[in-house]
Amino acid sequence: MSAQVSAAPAASFGRKALDPRIELLSWILLVLAMVSVPLWGSVYAVYMACLIAINVIATVGLNITVGYAGLLSIGHSAFLGVGAYASALMWLHLGTPLAFNLVVGAVSAFAVGLVFGIPALRIKGVYLAIATLAAQYSLYFVFQQWTSVTGGDRGLSLPKIDVFGYGDTGFYYVVAFVALVATLAARNLFRTRIGRSFIAVREKDYAAQVLGINVVVTKLVAFGIGAAYAGVAGALLAAFLRIVNPDQFTLVSSVFFLAAVVVGGRGSILGSILGALFMTMMPDLLREVIAHFSSEGADLASLLSPVREIAFGLLIVLFLIFEPRGLVGFVDRALGRAENVEARQEH
């Protein structure tokens, strides 16, 4: 079954690096676009930009785990929940500043991630997927039932945050800055020993071990970093929506993040950005489509959530079958970098 025909020797270690000047230019363009959103955009545009930036952080994290390290995690939103609750509780009870809460969110999600990851990652195979599915269910259960701490189904309400007296715009810049730093950090991670060891483990764990890489520790770090990114995203989400409740962190939103990784492109930072962008816009797009096709007076909200589930699932399946490189594959083709597309080897 897994007897995979080895592809052409070229590009087995990934894609040819982009011309550094083009890459620098696209980062600058990205920063300019991010900075300028509040200048030309409406309140809604700023709101969406915030949400996209938060989802980019979470998607980059999941891509580190799934795309770069080849470990399937299907409970990503549970770790967002851990970060969100941890930071909200710090804020409500100790009044700590946002920057500190982000760190607390990251550390707590990292720690909880390891609790679920340690038993699973010692064994080869899909055990991490089972463990993260278990994390999804049991953490949801904790959020919902531990009423004295988490507020149960009603959740926690947070005060409005005011950054340098600029209100929502100020908060957007904070989110955008964190997203940019997180994305750049992830990009640079894969030029270091640790990041490259993730890829080596994904490609062939025995070979990695022979090269002196501690496979178990590498997998744990890769999974933990993914969870920590989710924790940061969760802490920002809590401050952004000013409410934390269990229904934000269900299986559906884990499917959402997995779809963002697959649609964008596994093992690609650009892919994570594209995937998060696409997936965040999707529900609104779907709402328009449903409103267009459904009859007058139909209950749009009750249609939207099942249609969303269908769309997320279909996107995962169709992209995996027809374009495993995700949207990045389209970008490569558009840039005429066909050799990357043709010589693709999947992980």
Residues in contact with another protein by CB under 8 A are: 1-5, 66, 70, 72, 74, 119-120, 122-127, 129-131, 133-134, 137-138, 141, 145, 205, 209, 215-216, 252, 255, 258-259, 262, 302-303, 305-317, 320-321, 324, 346-347
Task: State both tokens at 51.
Answer: 């949400």
Q: Which is nearer to another protein, 168 or 309 (CB)?
A: 309
Task: State both tokens at 188.
Answer: 């640079």
Q: Which is nearer to another protein, 321 or 334 (CB)?
A: 321
Strand partners, 243: 157
Q: Which is nearer to another protein, 129 or 163 (CB)?
A: 129
Q: How far is the CB of 321 from another protein (least distance, A)?
A: 5
Q: How far apart are CA 191 and CA 213, in angstroms?
A: 16
Q: Which is nearer to another protein, 157 or 305 (CB)?
A: 305
Q: How far is the CB of 199 from another protein (least distance, A)?
A: 14
Strand partners, 157: 243
Q: How far is the CB of 251 from another protein (least distance, A)?
A: 8
Nearest to 310 by CA among 266, 250, 259, 246: 259
Nearest to 77 by CA among 160, 8, 135: 135
Q: How far is the CB of 189 from another protein (least distance, A)?
A: 21
Q: Which is nearer to another protein, 137 or 166 (CB)?
A: 137
Task: State both tokens at 25.
Answer: 């230019």
For residues 45-75, b (16+ Cβ closer than 10 Å) or e, as one string?
A: ebebbbbbbbbbbbbbbbbbbbbbbbbbbbb
Q: How far is the CB of 305 from another protein (least distance, A)?
A: 7
